[in-house]
Structure 1
């Protein structure tokens, strides 16, 4: 459970810092257009902090952590968030600076989203198994 708490806490800090970076970096560069930097704040808070607070609650109820499946979910999902948000940072910074965004940024962001999806699948498989175990022990 501590892993989920620490992850949520780190994502909360990164979410707040990314919002500050977006506001100050665009202001410093007199930029008022659309940029991926605006999305980093909400992605870190929603996909990071909020998800891990929910996982923390589910873990308390269903004892999810401690299993190999939970460990796999934790690292695959976190890798997906970090890669996706890092590519938002690169893409958004390049946009604000008026530089072209290399195609590798979009390809890497796609990999991040694939890892996010795989992590969520692992979480649902684990949760489904725990619910099935609870139903069998109750009945």
Structure 2
């Protein structure tokens, strides 16, 4: 569980720093156009901090972190998010600075999103194994025991 808490904390810090970086870089270069830097902050806070806070709560309820599936989810998801955020930061910075961006950067960002998706599939697979099956309303004792 501490791993999820630490990940959420790191993503919160990176999210705040990326927002500051976006604001200061665009201000320093008098840039007023569209840039991917504007959404790096949101990606880090939503896909990083908030996801890991939710995973922390799910871990508390269903003891997820003790399994190798959790470890696979954790590292796969983090690798995908890091790849995505790094390519977005690179593209956004190059846009603000007025440089062209190689087309391969879009492919790498797409790969990052695919890796995030694989991480989410691993998480849902683990949840499917840990969350108890629902009980029918015809068996009130089973429902009471599961709560």
**Fold in common (TM above 0.5):** yes
Displacement of 1:133: 7.3
Displacement of 1:131: 1.1
Report the equivalent of 2:87: 87
Q: Distance in 2 between matches of 1:134 and 1:87?
A: 42
Gaps of 5+ in 1: none
Structure-2-length-normalised TM-score: 0.90
Q: Distance in 2 between matches of 1:14 and 1:123?
A: 23
What aligned pairs does 1:38-117 form with structure 2 within 5 A after superposition?
38-117=38-117
Report the equivalent of 2:139: none
For the aligned residue pairs, the C-alpha RMSD in angstroms reads: 1.7
Q: Distance in 2 between matches of 1:131 and 1:86?
A: 34
Structure with greater proportional helix content: 1
Count of aligned residue pairs for this structure pair: 138
Q: Distance in 2 between matches of 1:91 and 1:66?
A: 38
Report the equivalent of 1:124: 124
Displacement of 1:76: 0.2
- Bigger-Rg structure (1/2): 2
Displacement of 1:132: 3.7
Q: Look up the SS of the partner of 2:51 in the other structure.
A: helix
Aligned in 2, Cα 1:3/1:134: closer, same or farther, shift over 3 Å?
farther
